[in-house]
């Protein structure tokens, strides 16, 4: 039955997230406080996007997302009517 809830629920509550990750509520609270786990708030209630949690788990629990570096401008490039 719980697998059914996880498959069809996009935003998990604190309780569902603890069950999903098999952690205690205090551990989840600590991770939230320290910014170690991705979450958002709907009103005053924290919610956890199941897809984001799956990605977070696959990346080893890292909340840092590696972005590609931006291309640098060529100092000799000409812009406009130059």
pLDDT tens-digit profile, the chain (82 residues): 456 555 677 899 999 999 999 999 999 999 999 999 999 998 999 999 999 999 999 988 766 555 566 666 655 555 555 5
- Cα separation of 28 and 37, whole Å? 8
What ranges in the chain are assigned the alpha helix state H?
A: 2-8, 14-21, 25-33, 50-58
In the block, tokens 């909340």 appear at: 63
pTM over 0.75: no
Which residue in this structure is represented by tokens 């939230």?
32
Domains with residue ranges and CATH for the chain: 2-58 (1.10.10)
């Amino acid at each position: 039955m719980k697998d059914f809830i996880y498959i069809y629920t996009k935003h998990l509550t604190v309780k569902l997230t603890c069950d999903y990750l098999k952690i205690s509520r205090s551990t989840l609270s600590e991770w939230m406080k320290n910014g170690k786990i991705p979450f958002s708030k709907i009103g005053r209630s924290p919610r956890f996007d199941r897809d984001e949690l799956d990605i977070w788990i696959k990346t080893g629990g890292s909340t840092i997302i590696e972005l590609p570096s931006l291309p640098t401008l060529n100092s000799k490039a000409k812009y406009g009517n130059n």
